């Protein structure tokens, strides 16, 4: 009987230790629901993939290096816009070729078309080379998406 009691005590001790370890792991957040919570970056990525219904940006279409370069160009284009003109099917963004080159705009369009293939892109060099224009158009209901993604101010 003494041998059976010793075996039971040893088993109970290991069971108790195991239960304490499981409780610590769950409490610390290593396992359980908090371990499966998406990171802030994953939430932003998911938002980008589902923005405005069928209009979404596939950020996985660009490598991390391409994405970083594209982000820099996007920031420059947003900052250097001279004028924003609403058109029947989208928006036209106007730039001075002195602040944004045709090559930079073409580079941006090339990358943007990979992650957002639903856009129609139109680039024009007008006014004897004094005005560079980018027109973004697309299917019906593209305008709200353009306004949101390209920070078009409300009228």
pLDDT for 39 = 54
Residues 93 and 125 in one domain: yes
In CATH, what number is assigned to the domain containing residue 125? 3.10.28
Q: How many domains does the chain have?
A: 2
- Cα distance between the two ends of the chain: 89
What global pTM score does this model have?
0.66
Residues 139 and 82 in one domain: yes
pLDDT for 21 = 36
Q: Can you give the residue range of the structural domain that contains 25?
A: 2-36
Q: Which residues of the chain have pLDDT under 70?
A: 1-53
Residues 61 and 112 in one domain: yes
> Which string of b and e fits 34-67 if b means at least 16 CB within 10 Å?
eeeeeeeeeeebeebeeeeeebbbebeebeeeee
Tally Cβ neighbours within 10 Å of residue 133.
18
> Is residue 155, in this structure, part of any structural domain at all?
no
Q: Positive or negative CA dihedral for 140, 144, 150, 153? A: positive
pLDDT for 123 = 98
pLDDT in tens, 66-80: 999 999 999 999 999
Residues 30 and 62 in one domain: no
Residues 88 and 136 in one domain: yes
pLDDT for 152 = 95
Residues 56 and 16 in one domain: no
Residues 70 and 26 in one domain: no
> Is residue 45, in this structure, part of any structural domain at all?
no
């Amino acid at each position: 009987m003494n041998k059976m009691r010793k075996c039971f005590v040893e088993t109970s001790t290991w069971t108790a230790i195991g239960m304490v370890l499981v409780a610590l792991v769950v409490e610390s957040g290593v396992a359980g629901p908090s371990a499966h919570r998406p990171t802030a970056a994953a939430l932003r990525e998911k938002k980008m993939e589902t923005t405005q219904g069928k209009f979404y940006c596939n950020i996985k279409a660009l490598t991390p290096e391409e994405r970083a370069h594209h982000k820099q160009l996007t920031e420059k284009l947003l900052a250097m816009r001279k004028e924003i003109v609403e058109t029947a099917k989208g928006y036209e963004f106007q730039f001075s070729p002195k602040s944004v080159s045709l090559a930079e705009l073409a580079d941006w369009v090339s990358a943007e078309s990979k992650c957002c293939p639903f856009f129609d892109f139109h680039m024009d060099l007008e006014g004897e080379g004094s005005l560079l224009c980018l027109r973004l158009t697309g299917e019906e209901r593209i305008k709200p998406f353009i306004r949101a993604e390209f920070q078009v101010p409300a009228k």
